[in-house]
Amino acid sequence: MVVMQPDGRTPAGPWSLFTRLRLLLLGHEDLAGVVFWAALVGLCAALSSIAFREGLQSLELLFTGQTTSLVRAAAAMPWWHRLLLPSCGAILAGFVLRLAGRMLPARMVDYMEVVRSGDGRISVRATLANSFSSLLTIASGGSIGREGPMVQLAAMCGSRVGLLGRAPVPRLRLMVACGAAAGIASAYNAPISGALFVSEIVLGNTSMESFGPLVVASVTASATIHRFMGYAPLYEVPKITVASNWELVFFVVLGVLLGHLGPPFLALLNFAKSCFLRLRLPLQWQLGLGGLIVGIISIVAPQVWGNGFASVNGILNAQLAGWWLLAILAAKVLATSATVGSGAVGGVFTPTLFLGCAIGGLFGGVLHPLLPTITSGATAYALAGMGGFLAATTHAPLTSILMLFEMTLDYDMVLPLMLACVTAHYTAKVYQRGESVYHAALSVPPHERGEWQLGSVGALIRPPGAVVEGETSLGTMFAGLPKRPLERVYVTDGAELVGWLDLRQLVPRMRRQQLDAAAAARSVSTPVGETLTPDMSLGSALDCFLRAGANVLPVTSGQWSNNLLGEVYRRDVVLAVQDRMLPHRTEA
């Protein structure tokens, strides 16, 4: 807050170049602030993703002695090395989690839970501990994805940046969502999908109040990743063309098949978790058992190591097919179930892409020899399978379509992808009441929701941007404005609010010399109109904003006094209203 007192000084050049540039943004302080913080979140998220990648590469070199993919490293190892390494790495990861549990009594909070029902705060120490545990699991061959800890790290960066900017709870949660979007964009080189994933799945809406900052964070993160790591499609895919319009029917059939297979896969993951829990083993031995199962499977099929990225490229380039691909598919399902079920920290996003790719590849491998003239090769169905299986498990078909397009940059596959993803989504919705792989993270019991969701504007109050005493001259006021765009300057008499100045109207009048720079601020101020109080409901506050047509309104102490307490932004009220709607939508 900036408070200016009357001192009789001569105006010190209020029309400096910097002042003129600031005044070009008058009326857009809220927008400028959101864009700045979202871009900063995107930058920090990208840097955290780069650090995670470098840490993973270093641990892989330490464990395997190679810098190639985990699958190639596993294939070059003796059988006993493949057997023991996943178990040893998982035991170390379990020890890290157990030590972190002793040091950090609070449970680890997932970023989705924070965005949906939390207060926007993510523990730094808990996130770092879980990320290190995930590094140990993945680098030693665990069948799990790296996108989970990368997105959690990015979301933690968003939380810390929001706290640095002293954002109120709804905007702090939006910064966490921006971090998650930036993390997905960094992991998959997919900025559009990163923003849409968080908007479609986590926030549950695509209003510009929230989607705009997500886009800014995703684009900033992608640009940063490109600067450090270059730009290329995530998967190298040979050119694909749809053989005929009749072939689109087969992509619908593939979508139906994937829709029937997605829910059983999720049920298998839940069954594996319950089996491990029934063993009642210490955490490190529980993870070690899961790693041992992966090691046993990898003796025969080293392709189960890691998230399946190398194997996906092999399928897309026709290097894996036939009965061997079917065997690897079954082995990968078991390995992923063992790793996830044991409680390892990681994501299932990329393993899901592998499973969909394998199912689609098998489907196309059977279909193309039977109908070679009207069907494409197995690669086209493998790509459609990736998107379809992702849609069947996440229930986010639009995100699945755009993500596969961004990861391959093959526009010719958009039509088959659209059909496969939408069909798989609707088919999978029949099972398990339409629950997705993120159902547990998104469904929070009412008693665990934050107190801030009670619905008043008290948690949204910020210090006023600029306050001036009524007798201060306009020239002095302009010379002392904070170096950021403002819409209003509040005029007070002591602590009492007596009026406000609309800088969008005041500046043109000063330029045309219709106002004297020595005039007192009170003489040209607008009387107090719409004001908010700390106990005002969100609905009443939104009505005040609609009547005033303003982006920001002052908050006063109430009926008995008009003391200025701060200000509230319309964007924060809209976000808070959306927050209150989310629990009802989740429970419906």
CB distance 564 to 554 below 8 Å: yes
Q: Which class for 555: exposed (0-12), middle (13-18), buried (19 or more C-beta within 10 A)?
A: buried
CB atoms within 10 A of CB 107: 9
Q: What is the greatest pairwise CA distance in the chain?
A: 91
Q: Look at residue 29 in the predicted model and tell me its pLDDT.
A: 47
What single-letter amino acid sits at 57?
A: Q
Domains 2-26+453-584 and 245-444 share a fold: no
Q: Look at residue 14 in the predicted model and tell me its pLDDT.
A: 43
Q: What is the pLDDT along the chain (588 residues), one digit of tens a residue?
A: 444 444 434 344 444 444 444 444 434 445 566 788 889 999 999 999 999 998 988 898 888 887 777 888 888 888 888 889 999 999 999 988 888 776 554 445 667 776 666 677 888 888 888 889 999 999 888 888 888 889 889 999 998 988 887 777 778 888 888 999 999 988 888 888 888 888 877 776 666 777 888 899 999 999 998 888 776 667 777 777 777 788 889 999 999 999 999 889 988 998 999 999 998 888 889 999 999 999 999 898 888 888 877 788 888 887 877 888 899 999 999 999 999 999 888 888 888 889 999 999 999 989 888 888 888 888 889 999 999 999 998 888 888 898 888 888 777 788 899 999 999 999 988 875 656 676 665 555 544 444 444 467 777 777 787 888 878 887 788 777 766 667 778 888 877 888 888 777 777 777 766 677 777 777 777 787 788 888 788 778 888 888 887 778 888 877 666 788 888 888 778 777 766 555 444 333
CB distance 257 to 363 below 8 Å: yes
CB distance 378 to 364 below 8 Å: yes
Enter the CATH code of domain 30-235.
1.10.3080.10
Q: Is the dihedral of CA 500, 503, 505, 510 positive or negative?
A: positive
Q: Look at residue 4 in the predicted model and tell me its pLDDT.
A: 47
CB distance 297 to 327 below 8 Å: no
DSSP state of 203: I
Q: Strand ranges (DSSP E) for 292-340?
A: none
Give the whole-angstrom CA distance, residue 120 versus residue 130: 18
Topology of 2-26+453-584 in CATH? CBS-domain (3.10.580)
Closest CA to 580 of 269, 117, 45, 263: 117
Domain extents in the chain: 2-26+453-584, 30-235, 245-444
Pick the CATH number of 245-444 from 1.10.3080.10, 1.10.10.10, 3.30.70.260, 1.20.1260.10: 1.10.3080.10
Give the whole-angstrom CA distance, residue 209 versus residue 551: 12
Q: Which two tokens stand for residue 150?
A: 């990368």
Q: Look at residue 455 in the predicted model and tell me its pLDDT.
A: 63
Closest CA to 458 of 557, 535, 527: 535
Q: Look at residue 587 in the predicted model and tell me its pLDDT.
A: 35
Q: Strand ranges (DSSP E) for 456-529?
A: 466-469, 488-493, 496-502, 526-527
Q: Which class for 59: exposed (0-12), middle (13-18), buried (19 or more C-beta within 10 A)?
A: middle
258, 308, 571, 581 from 434: Cα distances, Å: 15, 27, 32, 20
Tallying the residues shown for the chain, one arrives at 588
Q: Look at residue 447 in the predicted model and tell me its pLDDT.
A: 46
Give the whole-angstrom CA distance, residue 435 versus residue 544: 39
Q: Look at residue 578 in the predicted model and tell me its pLDDT.
A: 67
